[in-house]
Amino acid sequence: MNEYDTHAIQSQLAGVGYSFVDNIHEADLVLLNTCAVRGKPVEKARSLLGALRKEKKRRPVTVALMGCLAQLPEGQAMGAKFGVDIMLGPGALTDLIPALRQGRFQSFAFRDELRDYAPPPPKGALSAHVAITRGCNHKCTYCIVPTTRGPEVSRPAADILREVEALRDAGVVEVSLLGQNVNSYGLEPGLGPHRKLLPGFPSFAELLRMVGQIGIPRVRFITSHPINFTDDIIAAIAETPAVCQYIHLPVQAGSNRTLRRMAREYTREYYLERIAAIRSQLPEATLSTDIICGFPGETEADFEETLTLYDAVQFDMAFMFVYSEREGTPAARHFDDIPHAVKVARLMRLIERQKHWSLINYRRWVGHQVEVLVKGPAHDGDLMQGHTRGNHTVLVPRTVAPRPGLYTVNIAHATPHLLYAEGAALPENRPVATAA
């Protein structure tokens, strides 16, 4: 979502005559579009603001702090400390140009016009994002997003389809539909799996089918909430060839006790039932998840349940984090944190479990042909990097894929995190599976 918002910001700036430079020392205007979901990006923003304060002492430069951190008291205090000129929350992106005219400006409103705002297609891009919802109605006790991005709002389907059509006409071959919870697209305010549709809105499953018929070869979506991942969504994926069978379904924890404390609205058993439903209709689907290690009060027994759930699902990939307390969340107010060393130790154990299952799952692709969207050069100058429809990262010889685009390649090797196309040499000392 931040990448999408950043593109919107760049488009507004270009529209009033700004050009872009690669070095802050050459810039008249520097904008930090921030994340606040975890502690690490906040510390990165703090460090950058410190460097920019020194830059402002050397020469005139306007500094803007935008995004989720700017919406929070923590970010607003940082803005005051470091002499930030413009502060805009993620719901006030359309205030950017008026803010620049005023010089010093703050806005933390959630503008209605943002719902209808569609940036122009990114120039020369093969993949692009499209926001279908903004905000979140869920009250997960660890999460600051409902505070920073406000309540859930769905964009009209006609606007979404026009934006996707413009991307198709601009040469985009992969579009990702974005929302804090895309599954609740078009639903009336509230929570739970039984909300009715808003008048005039399709369901998310119907929207997937509509976008899948526009002519873009690849359609993705992120992020899903298990409580709203219904059977009709699974059917829409199965019946719409353009929709990639990559499903990111955050579980966060495998213990019912921890899930209750997180206010995740589902049980371990419900989540596993959703996985079984996906597997029954989409046996080739790639499954990924998010997991938090060391949530306040998590016992060793609770964590063991997360490990056993991982074994039961056998995720292809996972995004794993230690719990990061965020000021203003219910978890920060009401729960006592556990020692950092315990959280890190559990994360290391989970990473080892992830590597085990990822290697097994990645090996299944060895000897098969796959479609890869090559995005650009890899770190090795002889290789290009891309990803499959299942979101597996693939390294392809430059001789096979000399430029970005869609290619069909044979997979020859696999590691826990990478697939290697035929002809791509593996670095030494890396776990590998090779076709017989």
Q: What is the pLDDT of residues 391-427, one digit of tens each?
A: 999 999 999 999 999 999 999 999 999 999 998 877 7
Same domain (yes/no): 79, 137: no
Cα atoms in the 13 Å half-sphere on the side-chain side of 178? 18
Partner residues linked to 372 by β-bridges: 388, 407
Same domain (yes/no): 80, 135: no
**What would the two tokens of residue 254 be?**
């495998």
What does each C-alpha distance from 428 to 233, 379, 415 come to in angstroms?
Answer: 42, 15, 12
The parent domain of residue 411 ranges over 368-422
Quick: pLDDT tens for 238-283: 999 999 999 999 999 999 999 999 999 999 999 999 999 999 999 9
The last residue of a domain, from among 223, 244, 265: 244
Give the list of residues 6+ apart from residue 282 with CB closer than 8 angstroms, or none.
234, 237, 238, 245, 247
Same domain (yes/no): 146, 45: no
Question: Per the domain annotation, does 274 fall within a domain?
Answer: no
Give the domain CATH number at 414. Answer: 2.40.50
Report residue 434's pLDDT band, with 50, 70 and 90 as the boundaries.
low
Q: Which residues of 95-104 are buried (b: 16+ CB within 10 A; e: fewer)?
A: bbeebbeeee
Question: Per the domain annotation, does 278 fall within a domain?
Answer: no
C-alpha 6/C-alpha 9 separation (Å) is 5
Question: Per the domain annotation, does 351 fall within a domain?
Answer: no
Question: Per the domain annotation, does 164 fall within a domain?
Answer: yes
Same domain (yes/no): 190, 173: yes
Nearest 5°: the CA angle 238, 242, 247 is: 55
At residue 307, the 3 state secondary structure works out as helix
Question: Per the domain annotation, does 361 fall within a domain?
Answer: no
Same domain (yes/no): 140, 99: no
More confident residue, 357 or 326: 357
Under 8 Å between Cβ of 29 and 64: yes
Same domain (yes/no): 99, 174: no
Same domain (yes/no): 85, 152: no
% of residues, the chain, pLDDT over 70:
98
Q: Of 230, 284, 222, 274, nearest to 248 (Cα)? A: 222
The last residue of a domain, from among 87, 107, 127: 107
Same domain (yes/no): 8, 62: yes
Q: Tokens 């990473």 belong to which residue?
A: 351
Give the domain CATH number at 36. Answer: 3.40.50
Same domain (yes/no): 118, 237: yes
Question: Per the domain annotation, does 285 fall within a domain?
Answer: no
DSSP letters, 99-138, are HHHHSSEEE----GGGGG--PPPPTT-SEEEEESEES---
Question: Per the domain annotation, does 342 fall within a domain?
Answer: no
- Note the pTM of the prediction, 2 decimals: 0.91
Quick: pLDDT tens for 75-123: 999 999 999 999 999 999 889 999 999 889 999 988 887 777 788 888 8
Predicted local distance difference test score (pLDDT) of residue 435: 59
Average pLDDT over residues 38-62: 92
The last residue of a domain, from among 76, 107, 138: 107
Same domain (yes/no): 69, 133: no
Question: Per the domain annotation, does 19 fall within a domain?
Answer: yes
Under 8 Å between Cβ of 8 and 93: yes
Give the domain CATH number at 195. Answer: 3.30.750.210
Predicted local distance difference test score (pLDDT) of residue 1: 86
Quick: pLDDT tens for 145-175: 888 999 999 999 999 999 999 999 999 999 9
Q: What is the total count of domains within the chain?
A: 3
Q: Cβ of 70: how many Cβ atoms within 10 Å?
A: 29
Same domain (yes/no): 172, 239: yes
C-alpha 230/C-alpha 180 separation (Å) is 17
Same domain (yes/no): 80, 146: no
